[in-house]
Amino acid sequence: MDPLTHPLLDEATVRQIREAVLADETSWQDGRKSAGYQAAKVKNNLQLDRKSKTAKQASQQVIERLESDPLIKSFSLPRQIHGVMFSRAGIGQGYGMHVDNAYMSSGRSDLSFTLFLSEPESYEGGSLCIQTVQDSKHVKLPAGHVVVYPSTSLHAVETVTAGERLVCVGWIQSHICSNEDRTILFGLNAGARALLAEHGRSSELDLIFQAYTNLLRRLGD
C-alpha cells in the first residue's frame, strides 16, 4: 500500500496551531519517554506533553479534520485516531529507522500519519523516509499537508541540519487491519465515487455501493 499525501489544514489553522504549541515552552519533553524499547535507541526529538491543555486542544483539532476528510476516511477506514502528539526536531535531531509498536495504550496502529507544520523552506533535512521493498520514499510536505502510511513500514526521520521541524504525528486504528484488503476497498470506493461525481446517481451505482458496504461489513472488525 502506497502512502497517501493530502492537504489537510488551511494556512490560518496551521499558523494558529504552530503558535499555540510553540508558546507552551514548559510542556516540551524528551521524546524517548514515549518510545518503545527498540525505538528509544534511535529517537532524538522533543515532544509536547500529551497531558498538557495545549496538546489536548491542538490534537482534537487535528483529529476532527482527519475524521471529516472524505479521502482520508476512504483510504484509512478509521475506527479511532489515537496517540496524537506534537514533535520537534532541531539541528542534529532526527529519528533512526524503526517500526512503530503494533499495540499502544491508546489502540492498535494500522496506519501512521505525519502532519507537517513547518514550511519546508524553514529547515533542512527532516524528511520522513518510508522504506519500500527496494528503496525508500522521502516525504517532506508543505505546512498543513499530511502523509498517511501503513504502520507496518520501517521508517525514519532524517537528521535536521538547519532550522527546526515541527510535526504532528499519530496513529489510525482501522476497521480493516489488512493493508491488502484496505487497498482493494479504497480502489472500489474511489471508482464508485468518481462515477457518482461524473454521472450522478443510478441504480447500477447503487449496486456497487451496496457491494462495497457489504464487503466492508464482512472484512471489518
Cell numbers representing residue 108 in the block: 492498535
Min CB(98)–Ni ion separation in Å: 6
Min CB(100)–Ni ion separation in Å: 4
Number of amino acids touching Ni ion (CB under 5 A):
1
Helix (H) or strand (E) holding 80: strand 78-89
Cell numbers representing residue 203 in the block: 441504480
Binding-residue pattern over the window 120 to 139 for Ni ion, x denoting contact by CB under 5 A: --------------------
Min CB(123)–Ni ion separation in Å: 19
Residue range at the interface with Ni ion (CB under 5 A); choices 4-12, 84-92, 94-102, 199-207: 94-102
Q: What is the DSSP string of 123-180?
A: EES--EEEE-SSSEEEE---TTEEEEEETTS-EEEPPP-EE-EEEEEEEEEES---HH
Q: Which of 63, 107, 62, 60 is nearest to 221 (CA)?
A: 107
158 counts as binding Ni ion under rule CB under 5 A: no
100 counts as binding Ni ion under rule CB under 5 A: yes
110 counts as binding Ni ion under rule CB under 5 A: no
Which residues here bind Ni ion, judged by CB under 5 A? 100
